[in-house]
Structure 1
Amino acid sequence: MPIKQQLHHGTVPIKVFTNDIDEGALLQLKQVSQLDIIHAHIAAMPDVHMGIGAAVGSVIPTKSAIIPAAVGVDIGCGMNAIRLSLTAHQLPNNLKSIRQAIESAIPVGFEKHNTETMREKACKAFAHKITHIFNQHPELYKIFNKDKNRWMLQMGTLGGGNHFIELCIDESQQVWLMLHSGSRGIGNAIGTYFIALAQKDMAKHLHHLPHKDLSYFREGTEHFNDYVEAVELAQQYAYANRQEMMQLIIQAIRPHLPPFTLTHEAVNCHHNYVQQEYHFGTMVYLTRKGAISAKEGELGIIPGSMGTQSYIVRGKGNPESFHSCAHGAGRRMSRNAAKQRFTQKDLIHQTQGIECRKDKAVIDEIPSAYKDIDSVMKNQTDLVETLHTLKQVLCIKG
């Protein structure tokens, strides 16, 4: 479907691919559109909703500048999926042992690996760069609680919130593994530090911004190159983190399943990041905050909630969305609102038939807290085409 709304509240238009948008997200989009560093327009994906720093589901092209709070603190957060040579009937009737095997292999929440299980080979590629950033910016140690080795022990870990691991079945009854995670503590520290630094710098040079979270670094200023280097490092770490987890998961489930191979190219994509791209005649820094790249022919993953289906898609390269699409269903209500509205009984009902935690601690991830993924997909038929529809049978939440 085409653009649903085109709004004019600032220096550039806002092109919205849905009619389902909350007032908080709309305000955040309007505020971004007032900045003089925005190129062409802002695009809001069908899953758009209010976020921290900027609306989740927004695609923001900036000229010679980057807004650290728009990129956020979960830098490089994204998805990884791979298809196995197994079919649904080859799975055991009870998936609890598989869930326990994965939970034993992958630390979740605030947990991390110990020194014996640390992913040393993957960490080696980042050691020099992270040491360099810590030396350049000692304040990062404080944010990192002076635990300079934590980033190594967190390589190959899930994290918390809406991060997850799933075992899914597609429309042909093929089995898939899928996971959602980001750059863990190192990305959080980098994001937190540079957001504060941008706000401090902007207060010196600019008297007014629509919101302090829209403070930015311009090319040529003191901290711009350091931020670009740090954010790229976090994005690379997030990508490697997902790869390491996928390897650990495959190793963990092999003893519980018939012999299998990997039969589909792994899809590993960010949906919370910034990179340079060429759009509408200009090279820009394109921030996708809760959006994935959907260049023509490019594969991507759009997950639903823990009780609905997810999608493997191929991009159509729509220029109006800056070759982007939605990154998921998108939240309809805050975590606190979900906890107040729904009960454990509701969670059990909405995740019926899925092997997963059903305790009070994950009520904030209940499917009803999210937008309808089918509606999201209908609103972006001109952005992507669906290749596979996945339905989870097992879900592990962070």
Structure 2
Amino acid sequence: MNTTQLRKLGVSDLCIGAAIEGIQRAVQEDELRGREIKKLISSVLAEPSDFVAHPHFGRLAREIIENANFTRPAPIEYQVWGREIDAACHAQMRQSCALPMAVGAAIMPDAHLGYGLPIGGVLALENAVVPYAVGVDIACRMKLSILDIPTTELDANFYRFKNALDKGTRFGIGSVHERPQQHAVMDADWTVSRVTRENRDKAWKQLGTSGSGNHFVEFGRLTLEQRDEQLGLEKGEYVALLSHSGSRGTGASVCDTYSNIARALLPRQYVDFGRLAWLDLDSEAGQEYWAAMTLMGEYAAANHDVIHRLVSLIVGGKIIAGVENHHNFAWIENHNGRDVVVHRKGATPAGEGVLGVIPGSMADPAFVVRGKGNPASLNSASHGAGRRMSRTAAREKYSWRAVQRDLENKGVRVLSAGADEVPYAYKNILDVMQDQQDLVETVARFDPLIVKMSEDGRAED
């Protein structure tokens, strides 16, 4: 009997393996055939308690009894921000909310389809972490540095800024610096897991690089409408450097390794959760993943630190203020009086008074924001504008060179990028900001003027 025939007979997917094992033993040891086996399985399905000690179908009987007493908890509700979220994204969110330890969830206005938890999804779990709800590019983050260079230089001395981006940054799958950069993060304990230990040399070579996908480094004009005490800046216009990247290939290896472990440990009743497989924080694997994730957070911050140090040194500017925040991470936070694990996959921490940066696209502004600490969003906001078009669709529809010329006519010079990252592939950042006025307030506006991205048109490694 095959799987389809077993399902028609009434065997649930959770018990298929036990049924097949029983059939194989019955054929080999007692030489039973199709009709006899079908009759025997029907009897097991009708009265499983009579067969728990059966030499061939005892396991099937026990699993039928076990699953008959099993009921999944009802999915929790989730809050929604945004006007442009497709059905597939909502389907992913509903499945995430059906995790047995889920206690809170929200979806941000930049949300779009991802793996497991949608990008722009926020999920709070009790004492568990889901590697794919953190994401492949662990601790991907934004960093904005404000420089002591007059804004007139942006127009008057384009090649000064172009040279700084060309020489101070590296893009593309597997990109490295010719000479490994120095940073204290490489003196941290990389033995917290096998995967971090084995990838340390690779991570060092990639330190201070941006990779590919939607990662960028750009110069632009920051406009501050009034003095801000947190930034320590007066009202005015400033030259600013903005970057977006994460933990590179090592972060991806950490995610894949521990997601595979989590999937192998999934109870049979939850095998359909796939990439939403979780690790108990009290388990050895859960503790290892948490330590590796934390290290990747430090490493991603170091990547940006090196990029901003190199670029600002080459351009000849001093950093006088800055803002940074990461997404694709999990935090232990207190919500509704208890500690929970808050996953923000493509979502920005927006606790009360917390500064962050929310970018648009290469042709649209980014915003420095201050969180309002809205408990309904688990103190979160969007991490950007969010895609409205897949990479494949964008490459098929747009000619990159034509888009590049159009952007230059509008005052935005893109040194390198791919058609998959054209502005039209993204939602309108102004709409996204309008949809989350109860989550953040705008502190300053950053308008990109000189942009550098990867040309290879592939997602980050």
Q: TM-score range by the shorter chain?
A: 0.7 to 0.9
Aligned residue for 2:430? 374
**Alpha-carbon separation, structure 2, partners of 1:263 and 1:48:** 33
Aligned residue for 2:259? 195
Aligned residue for 2:213? 161
Q: How much has 1:173 moved relative to structure 2?
A: 2.8
Alignment counterpart, residue 88 of structure 2, candidates 24, 32, 43: 24
Alignment counterpart, residue 403 of structure 2, candidates 346, 361, 371: 346
Question: Are 2:137 and 1:74 equivalent residues in the alignment?
Answer: yes
Q: Is the 8 A contact 2:360 2:385 kept in 1?
A: yes
Q: Is the 8 A contact 1:123 1:152 kept in 2?
A: no
Aligned residue for 1:309? 365
**Alpha-carbon separation, structure 2, partners of 1:180 and 1:380:** 21
**Alpha-carbon separation, structure 1, partners of 2:74 and 2:452:** 42
**Alpha-carbon separation, structure 2, partners of 1:323 and 1:379:** 15
- Residues 152-183 of structure 1: per-residue CA shift (max 9 Å, x gap): 11111111111101111123331111101101
**Alpha-carbon separation, structure 2, partners of 1:64 and 1:98:** 47
Aligned residue for 1:333? 389
TM-score (norm 2): 0.76
**Alpha-carbon separation, structure 1, partners of 2:427 and 2:272:** 28
| 3-state SS, counterpart of residue 371 of structure 1 | coil
Listed as ranges, the gaps of 5+ residues in structure 1 are 1-8, 255-259
Question: Are 2:113 and 1:36 equivalent residues in the alignment?
Answer: no
Q: Is the 8 A contact 1:304 1:373 kept in 2?
A: yes
Query: Which structure has the highest helix share of the two?
Result: 2
**Alpha-carbon separation, structure 1, partners of 2:438 and 2:116:** 28
Q: CA RMSD in A?
A: 1.9
The equivalences for 1:96-111 within 5 A come to 96-109=159-172, 110-111=174-175
Alignment counterpart, residue 263 of structure 1, candidates 315, 320, 326: 320
**Alpha-carbon separation, structure 2, partners of 1:32 and 1:375:** 26
Aligned residue for 1:237? 299
Aligned residue for 1:319? 375
Q: How much has 1:132 moved relative to structure 2?
A: 4.4
Aligned residue for 2:26? none
**Alpha-carbon separation, structure 2, partners of 1:68 and 1:230:** 11
Q: Which moved more, 1:295-304 or 1:45-54?
A: 45-54
Alignment counterpart, residue 120 of structure 1, candidates 179, 182, 186: 182
Aligned residue for 1:253? 315
Q: How much has 1:295 moved relative to structure 2?
A: 0.9
> Runs ≥4 in structure 1, deviation > 4 angstroms?
none
Q: Is the 8 A contact 2:164 2:312 kept in 1?
A: no
Listed as ranges, the gaps of 5+ residues in structure 2 are 1-72, 224-235, 455-461
Question: Are 2:158 and 1:95 equivalent residues in the alignment?
Answer: yes
Aligned residue for 1:6? none
- Residues 328-349 of structure 1: per-residue CA shift (max 9 Å, x gap): 0000011001101112313432
Q: Is the 8 A contact 2:365 2:445 kept in 1?
A: yes
- Residues 278-322 of structure 1: per-residue CA shift (max 9 Å, x gap): 011210011000111111111000001011000001111111111
Q: How much has 1:10 moved relative to structure 2?
A: 4.7
| 3-state SS, counterpart of residue 357 of structure 1 | strand
Q: How much has 1:97 moved relative to structure 2?
A: 4.3
| 3-state SS, counterpart of residue 413 of structure 2 | coil
**Alpha-carbon separation, structure 2, partners of 1:377 and 1:15:** 17
Letter in 2 for 1:357: L
Q: How much has 1:70 moved relative to structure 2?
A: 0.9
Letter in 1 for 2:144: A
Letter in 2 for 1:309: P
Structure showing greater relative contact order (alpha-carbon pairs closer than 8 Å, 6 or more residues apart):
1
| 3-state SS, counterpart of residue 389 of structure 1 | strand
Aligned residue for 1:5? none
- Residues 155-213 of structure 1: per-residue CA shift (max 9 Å, x gap): 111111111011111233311111011011211111111111111111xx333344301
CA gap of 1:234–1:69, structure 2 versus 1, over 3 A, is same
TM-score (norm 1): 0.88
CA gap of 1:58–1:92, structure 2 versus 1, over 3 A, is same
- Residues 126-154 of structure 1: per-residue CA shift (max 9 Å, x gap): 3xx224423xx59x84xx5xxx5111111
| 3-state SS, counterpart of residue 149 of structure 1 | helix
Letter in 2 for 1:173: E
Q: Is the 8 A contact 1:275 1:285 kept in 2?
A: yes
Aligned residue for 2:249? 185
Q: How much has 1:271 moved relative to structure 2?
A: 1.3
CA gap of 1:387–1:209, structure 2 versus 1, over 3 A, is same
**Alpha-carbon separation, structure 2, partners of 1:51 and 1:185:** 18
CA gap of 1:78–1:121, structure 2 versus 1, over 3 A, is closer
Q: How much has 1:46 moved relative to structure 2?
A: 0.9
How many residues are aligned here? 367
The equivalences for 1:257-296 within 5 A come to 260-264=317-321, 266-296=322-352
Q: How much has 1:378 moved relative to structure 2?
A: 0.2
Aligned residue for 1:3? none
| 3-state SS, counterpart of residue 325 of structure 2 | strand
Q: How much has 1:242 moved relative to structure 2?
A: 1.0
Alignment counterpart, residue 362 of structure 1, candidates 411, 415, 418: 418
| 3-state SS, counterpart of residue 361 of structure 2 | coil
> Quick one: percent identity of the two aligned structures?
33
Q: Is the 8 A contact 2:136 2:256 kept in 1?
A: yes
Q: How much has 1:123 moved relative to structure 2?
A: 4.2
